[in-house]
Structure 1
Amino acid sequence: RFEMPYNIWCDGCKNHIGMGVRYNAEKKKVGTYYTTPIYRFRMKCHLCVNYIELQTDPASCDYVIVSGARRKEERWDMGDNGQLLPTEREAKERLETDAMFRLEHGAADRATLRRAVPTLATLQEAQSAWKDDFALNSRLRQRFREEKKTLREEEEEAAALQAKLGLSIPLVPEEEEDRRLAALLKYRSPHSYEEKQRLKRTEISSRSWFPAAAG
């Protein structure tokens, strides 16, 4: 079984074949790269009668299309992304035979390492902060349980208040500003007891003692 290593376009039916599609393929050895064998795979497109051939490319750690299809280009430059680049064959040979080139190559590697040290230190600090996954997950679950309990209690209090006052409108959560304004309000009757007594005496004193004469 051969699994398609990347997205391709079939030359026969012009259809797209996605990465990961599996085929029953014929496998044969067609050469070597140093001591690594190069294998070729031949399979029939599942959408038409066209045959597709791919083979391994140990030099670039990839697969190349021999015939029957074309690759959907989704590759990028590893150097632009700051990824580790594999050493080319010519560079390997020069490292083995050229002492000056080996010295320059080592100096360039050390300079790259010095530039990367601050970033590596930041990543290590971030990783150490999340090292104890179990404790972090436990604290997170505990906080979620407490928040859920508080929310449930607030909902029960709101439902009880709605039932007591016969309200059908939803109640919004109480804010600190609401409590502050409520503390400033003072509930009292329109007239105090003393004021009521004074008004009553005034009414009595202004009342006539003699009944009105009948006309």
Structure 2
Amino acid sequence: MAERKVLNKYYPPDFDPSKIPRLRLGKNRQIKVRLVAPFAMRCNTCGQFIGKGTKFNARKETTDESFHSIPIYRFYIRCQKCAAEITYKTDPENANYIAEKGAERNFEPWREEKALNEQLDKEKEEEEENNPIKALENRTMQSRREMEIMDELDEIRLQNAKAEQGNMRAIEETIRRNNRKEEEEALKKQEEEDDRLAKQIFASEGKRIKRAREEDAVERELAIKQSVCKTAAIAGKSANSAISRAVQGVIRKTKPPPSPAPQTNQQPSLNGMLAAYESDDDQDSD
């Protein structure tokens, strides 16, 4: 077990590689391969059906046949039921396979249709070569058929264009409807937000705001008018008093001062003293 991991092998001193015999392989030797069935087939011995893609352990060999220097290979498989040998080989000319022995290929309608079309085309070409009038008729029919096909294609294009236009209108209407719905939802959300903010502002600290009655409004107006009248009367009185004070001050300034009493050697009487005292009090009060 350890030798399989050794990188270097021991070569004795008397080793001569020319004395080793070379392996001569035959040209038609068989190789064991793993493959799948390339087509559906039926065994001729037991009638077992073998589907396409069934896996087999097969033997492959190179035949003496070739197509344009492409070698043709033969494969050997065994039936799953009776173990009968089945052989098939490659067909590079048709890019296919050919069942050779032991089994028959199942019927494939598309392959028969292709072969039939090729045969009809070949017969038509031979007929046109021998009969020019027939060739002219065929070309006329072909051109007429092409014109009909083009007309049908134009009609299909018009129908598709109308359908696309109708679809575009439907799409535009759907988009418009969706936009309208979004706008309505946005307005509704805005109104709900406004109502919420109004309730939050007016419902502060649990106080309720009562609606004013008409009698309360009338009483409020009368009270305002009375207060205005009172303030106007007070302002008028203060203005009149200010004017009277100003007039008295002007008169006092323009009044000539009293002439001094003549000095005499006599003693003033009691009445004169009282009169002078009263006049001084009046001036002080002014």
The alignment's TM-score, normalised by the length of structure 2, stands at: 0.31
Which of 1 and 2 has higher RCO (CA within 8 Å, sep 6+)?
Answer: 1
Which protein is bigger by CA-based radius of gyration? 2
